[in-house]
Amino acid sequence: MKKWLFIVVLFSNSLLAQNKIKSFFSFPDTINHTRLKTVVIGQGTVWLSSMYGLNKAWYANYPRSRFQFYNDIKEWQQVDKVGHAWSAYWGAQLSSSLFRWSGVSQKKSALYGAGMGIAYVSVIEVLDGFSKEWGFSVGDIAANTSGALLFASQEYAWQEQRIQFKFSSSFWKKYATAEEQQRAHNLYGNSPFEKILKDYNHQTYWLSINPWSFKKEGNFPKWLNIAVGYGADGMLGGYENYGTDKITNRPYNFSELKRVRQFYISPDIDLSKIEFRGHKFKLLKALNVLKIKFPMPALEYNNEGKLIFHPLYF
C-alpha cells in the first residue's frame, strides 16, 4: 500500500503544475529558457524530495537489507500492476505538458515526459529493493514503462491521445459481512480517500478510445469514447483470502470469498472535446487531465462466466 503514498505526492504536485500551466495557457513555438529551467529544477526537486520524504515517512520504520528482487506479479489479481501503468501514463502526460509549456517540441516533450513518468513512479522500486520487507519488482517496472510508452507512442504517431488511460473507483460500496468490512478496514483503511487509493476491490482501470479521432469525419460524436475496463473483486489478501492480520496479529480466513476478475465495456465522454459556441470549456479540459472515467452504463463479464449490466458504473 505504500506505493500509493507516492501517488498522493505526485497528485498534489500535478495540481499545482496544472494551475501554473493554465495561468500561462499557451505553448510557445520556441524554447523559453526561463520556463525550461523552472521545469527541470522543479521536476528534479519533486523527484528527490519524494524519495527523501517516502524514505523518512515509510521505509525508515522497516529493516534495511542488501539490494534484493521480489516477484509480486501474482498479487492482487494484477490490479496493482495496471495501477502502476496508469500512474506512469498520468505522470508522463503531466511532465510532457510542462516541457511543452517551456517551448520544447511535441515529440521531444513526449520522450522527456515518458522518462520522467517512469522515474516518478519507479522511485518506490529503488527504495523497495533496499528494504528487507519487500524487494525490487521487475513487474512494477514493466508496468511503469508500459504506461509511459502508451502516452509517448501516441504523441509520436498521432500527436494526440486517441486512447486515454483512465481510472474510476466505487469507494462507497460496502462488503457483504461485518467481518469482511473489518478486514477491509484493517487492510485498506476506512476514509474515502484511503479507499480510493488503496482498495483494489473498488478500482477499475480503462482504455478509453475515441473513434472519431481515427477518421475525423462523419457524424460520430467527437466527444464520445468507447472504454474497455479491468478490475477485480473479493480480495482480502494479496495472494489468498486467509493469513494473519498484521495490525491485530490474529488469523483471518475468508476462503469462501471468491476472487473474481472483471472485464467491462462502457461509453465514455472526452471532456476536452465538448464545445460550446465554438469554444472549449477550459475547466472541462482541465478535469479531463485527471483521467477519471465518466460515470456511464457498463456491461461486465467476469471469470465466473457471469454477464452483468450496470445502469450506472463508477
Domain of 281 in residue numbering reads as 162-314
Closest CA to 166 of 210, 125, 122: 210
Domain check: are 61 and 71 in the same one?
yes
Domain check: are 50 and 170 in the same one?
no
Domain check: are 83 and 108 in the same one?
yes
Q: Which of 160, 191, 208 is the last residue of a domain?
A: 160
Are 114 and 92 in contact by the 8 Å Cβ rule? The answer is yes
Domain check: are 152 and 168 in the same one?
no
pLDDT at 3: 55
pLDDT bracket for residue 278 (50, 70, 90): low
Domain check: are 153 and 170 in the same one?
no
Domains identified in the chain, total number: 2
Domain check: are 75 and 203 in the same one?
no
Environment class of residue 122 by beta-carbon count within 10 Å: exposed (0-12), middle (13-18) or buried (19+)? buried
Say if residue 54's pLDDT is above 80: no
Are 31 and 102 in contact by the 8 Å Cβ rule? The answer is yes
pLDDT at 121: 87
Q: Which of 160, 190, 218 is the last residue of a domain?
A: 160
Average confidence (pLDDT) over 6-21:
51
Domain check: are 103 and 85 in the same one?
yes
For 305, the grid coordinates are: 462466466
Say if residue 202's pLDDT is above 80: yes
Rounded to the nearest angstrom, the gap between the alpha carbon of residue 92 and the centroid of all alpha carbons in its chain is: 11
Domain check: are 151 and 170 in the same one?
no
Q: Which of 160, 177, 203 is the last residue of a domain?
A: 160
Domain check: are 211 and 266 in the same one?
yes
Domain check: are 147 and 188 in the same one?
no
Domain check: are 196 and 64 in the same one?
no
pTM: 0.87
Domain check: are 106 and 231 in the same one?
no
